[in-house]
Amino acid sequence: MVFDLICPNKHTFEAWFKDSKAFDGLRRKGQVECPTCGDSKVEKALMAPNISTSKKQAQAAKESAMAAQATQMLAKMQKHVEDNCDYVGPAFAEEARKIHYGETEKRDIYGEATKTEATELSEEGIDFTAIPWTQPTDS
Ligand SMILES: [Zn+2]
């Protein structure tokens, strides 16, 4: 079972023991050490509610880091598109169709399309990728 433990320096950590008795035995022999400072005078942490809150906070921090990473990737993709493709604005569907049917010069474009237009394009077998576009913020 997993125990929430705390050392004299208030580092909290988790450790696995077969049971409470096993933990007590190892602790008496000084074999349970704080991974942060190496102190072996660890105790079972009594502030369980606080610990679960900090776990939730850690989880939230992890999730927001992942979200930031996703945003960064998206920004990169957006930059690539902006650098390499012609912006055609709301005429995207029309232009994509013209390119597909060879009515205009073949090139990479990007722009806005309504949901209906997007559906029509895919029904006609026209390749395009929908990416969530972040608008530049004013801040
Ligand atoms: Zn410690």
Q: Which is nearest to 113 in space by CA: 93, 139, 137?
A: 93
Cα 51 → chain centroid: 23
115 is a domain residue: yes
55 is a domain residue: no
98 is a domain residue: yes
The span from the CA of 86 to the CA of 44, in Å, is: 62
Terminal alpha carbon distance of the chain? 49
118 is a domain residue: yes
Instruction: Record the pTM.
Output: 0.48
106 is a domain residue: yes
| CA trace torsion 110, 114, 115, 117 (10° rounding) | -80
Is the pLDDT score of 28 beyond 90? yes
- Taking the alpha carbons of 80, 83, 86, 88 in that order, is the dihedral positive or negative? positive
Is the pLDDT score of 119 beyond 70? yes
The pair phi, psi for residue 21, each rounded to 5°, is -65, -45
76 is a domain residue: no
Considering its fold, how many domains does the chain have in total?
2
pLDDT at 65: 86
CA of residue 35 to ligand 1 center, whole Å? 7
**Predicted confidence (pLDDT) per residue in 70-99, tens digit:** 888 888 888 988 999 999 999 999 999 999
CA of residue 60 to ligand 1 center, whole Å? 24
CA of residue 2 to ligand 1 center, whole Å? 18
Residues bordering ligand 1, an ion, CB closer than 5 Å: 7, 9, 11, 34, 36-37, 39
Query: Between these two residues, 66 and 139, which has the higher pLDDT value?
Result: 66
Look up the domain containing 94 and give its range.
85-123
CA of residue 21 to ligand 1 center, whole Å? 22
pLDDT at 100: 93
60 is a domain residue: no
Strand partners for 16: 2
Query: Between these two residues, 114 and 52, which has the higher pLDDT value?
Result: 114
CA of residue 5 to ligand 1 center, whole Å? 10
Which range (2-11, 48-57, 118-127) has the least confidence?
Answer: 48-57
The span from the CA of 139 to the CA of 126, in Å, is: 37
Helices 115-123 and 92-100, packing angle to 10 deg: 10
pLDDT at 51: 54
69 is a domain residue: no
CA of residue 36 to ligand 1 center, whole Å? 5
pLDDT at 138: 62
CA of residue 134 to ligand 1 center, whole Å? 44
**Predicted confidence (pLDDT) per residue in 39-74, tens digit:** 999 998 864 545 556 777 888 888 888 888 888 888
CA of residue 13 to ligand 1 center, whole Å? 9
Give percent of the chain above pLDDT 90: 49
